[in-house]
Chains A and B, each alone.
Chain A
Amino acid sequence: MTYVAPTEDMMFVLEELCGLDEIAHLPGLEDATPDMVSAILEEAGKFAGDVLGPLNCVGDQAGLGFAKGEVTTPEGWRAAYETLVEMGWNAPTASPDHGGMGLPEVVNAAILEMFNGANTAFQLCPLLTQGAIEAINGYASDDLKALYLPKLVTGEWTGTMNLTEPQAGSDLAAIRSKAVPEGDHYRISGQKIFITYGEHDMAENIVHLVLARLPDAPAGVKGISLFIVPKFIPDAEGAPGARNDLRCVSIEHKLGIHASPTCTMSYGDEGGAIGYLVGEPHKGLPYMFTMMNNARLGVGLQGVGISEAATQHAVRYAMDRVQGGTPEGTEATIMGHPDIRRMLGLMKARTEAARALAFLAARSLDFAHRAEDDETRGLHQRRVDLLIPVAKAWSTELSVHAASLGVQIHGGMGYIEETGAAQHLRDARITTIYEGTTGIQALDLVGRKIKRDNGTAARELVAEMEATAEALKTCQGGEADWPALATMVEEAAGIVGDLTDWLVAQNGSEPLSAAVNILETFGVCLGAWVMGDAAMAAARRISEDRGVPHAKAKLNMVRFYATNVFPTAAALHAIAKSGNRATLALEASDFALAV
């Protein structure tokens, strides 16, 4: 099962849609020139294809060992992790102040997509560490930063996020874990579940970020604090010292990502694990949410990566599998069958749209962090906030669909594990659930991101979509049906604008029941927008004789998107606005089971 990093399409998106040049002019990102980024992606692609890719199936088949509280990763994983650390791929965006490389988020987005596409179960470990780095860097004291960040940045230590408890899943207000002050630290006790890489054998220390309540904490979400709870308590020099009072009591048996340990963690069985408060008391949830924004984008990129991997897998099979023949009587591969091409078209066109959208969200993160004027920073922060739930939920839902189509293209063999097509489907299935389910993302989009700012961010986006439509109207030349593309983007802008107005005017439960439909409509419409821009860039490249085969394929993908994907937006739009009353009218008794 080979994974080949799609560096050409990534560079296309970075250069043509994300304005990489401009990003390299932001303060602190001067090194990220296109030639440098291209060299970085080439090398990251080699690591993904040569080191991570071959271990993907191994991890899925072998799974994890667990005995006496210790987790054993599959053969080859420790060595691969060691290489990751040595090669400096653990946390590419981390600040040079803590030993990082300070790369732009948008470049990291490409790297994350590659590593996730090659091996999702593996890349979860660095992804969690990146989240921990962000939380500590953003909110912890200087002493804690100095002690923990350098080792987390290199990857010598890994990080985790401990939110969920058996009674506190999507509703974190129900958290019960306790933290009791004791001198300069706290004693933490409680049980956390679903802790990804909560225990493993790839690094010398694990730094848990744990949400818990102080004795005087107010009830609900406003009484939750964030703590650093290391597996081994570092001494003053930062070497891992005494074993802390925490342990992994079990690991889960899951549908997919078999080699990623999902741990139940028990804190304080022997009197309380030593923990250190991050930032101020009772502010844990807002801290966690800032970090989660990026983690959500990371999961969105997992979706893109798995979609890409599933597509590559299916393309290889379709080009190899001989069934039936041509009208001339010679043997033919199934690539010749129109329905196979339809499925591959759906997989590839939507993967490319989702990639562009996720990278644009990452681009806005760079501007939100580093632009010099407040206005630009503000605009991009609003844009990030708006795009992240869409990039997370739409990309991951697409990955499930893409992986399912991948199985379909393999026919009966797709249902047999040894072809590897099924692994993508099983691995993809978690991505719509963790870091906030699709339903939660949709509520975030309609509530926090659209209604709360009265549609400001969404209308700013609509204006940009309209500008793309206008630009498409002026395009000429035979590379594409420009009027049709202009109409597509114009309609897309119209739908997003209409849904925004409708949402802002609603006060009842309608937006809640329609939220997922609205999110999907946004996904399809924003996909149309980025594909419109991609078409113009591709035509320009052809006229300049640059990257012609890729540009031609891109134009065909845009055409396919316009005719085979975008038309669903109208139906989704209608469902979002008129289907919600019927949803709300469904009574629990309507689902009554025969006794």
Chain B
Amino acid sequence: MKVLVPVKRVIDYNVKVKVKADGTGVDLANVKMSMNPFDEISVEAAIRLKEAGVASEVVIVSIGEKKSVDTIRNALAMGADRGILIEEDQGVDIEPLAVAKILAKVVEEEAPELVILGKQAIDNDMNATGQMLAALLGWGQATFASEMEIADGKAVVTREVDGGLQTISTPLPAIVTTDLRLNEPRYASLPNIMKAKKKPLDEKTAADYGVDTSPRLTVVTTEEPAAREAGIKVGSVDELVAKLKEGGLV
């Protein structure tokens, strides 16, 4: 069984995000970029399937600027088998629908039985690509996986939902999106980092797949969260209640 894992190069989770002065988005110039943490979990899940003898090949795909090659190599160093870079650099984030359309074409070509995606990317928190890809392919989807078992042509997935856990089963081929608690991604070992460079990596563009990636959404404005305002001290409960009423809060 082949497993496809899409990964995204995003602003590193340690970076303190700054909004561009003109409000068109987040300032990405000269900031550290890394693999989306949810995607690391997906890569780990796929590699574990391979180690368990369930998967035969783990293919990594990334869509974005040229430097996404580093992100793919990172996944290869963790233990994936080969990579596909689909270069698309328009200076703005590619929307989930365009990503899903490209991935649908990749799925046609590669014919995986399972696609494991992060539930969302930490840059825009869209939480949409996996679901859209499932819809485009007409496959079953199991999102927000905190446990996953692949057996007998099915994916049995425990999902983290509001108020608890839900276990569902979907026939393969299927889409699984990963949540934080599914696993703890491994470190890449030094020998594997060095081997990753020699693993095959195809380079393509979105145009090769005939997908129009031009944005359909317009960013109206991007703002930093409002700074916390200074508080006041009150002398008594009565005063507190009065102040709350004054502010229209009770």
Contact = CB atoms under 8 A, between A and B. Distances in A.
Contacts of B187: 43, 46-47, 50-51, 83, 87
A39 B73 contact: yes
Given A548-B29, A548-B30, A35 B190 contact: no
A51 B187 CA distance: 10
A5 to B, nearest CB: 12
Interface in B183-211: 187-191, 193-194, 196-197
B69 to A, nearest CB: 8
B189 to A, nearest CB: 4
A92 B189 CA distance: 11
Nearest to A541: B30
A35 B70 contact: yes
B30 A31 contact: no
B190 A39 contact: no
Contact of A39 (B14, B77, B191): B77
A86 interface: yes
Contacts of A92: 190
B126 to A, nearest CB: 26
Contacts of A39: 70, 73-74, 77, 193, 196
Task: Give the size category of B's interface with A.
Answer: 10 to 19
Interface string A74-113: 0000000001001111001000000001010000000000
Nearest to A39: B193
A4 B15 CA distance: 12
A594 interface: no
Contact of A547 (B30, B191, B196): B30
B30 A88 contact: no
A43 B70 contact: no
Contacts of B191: 88, 101
A40 interface: yes
B189 A87 contact: yes
A285 B228 CA distance: 66
Interface string A380-415: 000000000000000000000000000000000000
Contacts of A89: 190
Contacts of B77: 39, 43
Of the candidates A35, A38, A548, the one having the most CB atoms from chain B within 10 angstroms of its own CB is: A35
A236 interface: no
Interface of B: 14, 29-30, 32, 70, 73-74, 77, 187-191, 193-194, 196-197
7 contacts: A31-B194, A31-B197, A39-B74, A43-B77, A87-B187, A87-B188, A548-B30
Given A39-B193, A44-B190, 17 more contacts: A8-B32, A36-B194, A39-B77, A42-B74, A43-B188, A46-B187, A47-B187, A51-B187, A83-B187, A87-B188, A87-B189, A89-B190, A545-B29, A546-B30, A547-B30, A548-B30, A549-B30
Interface of A: 4, 8, 31, 35-36, 38-40, 42-44, 46-47, 50-51, 83, 86-89, 92, 101, 103, 545-550
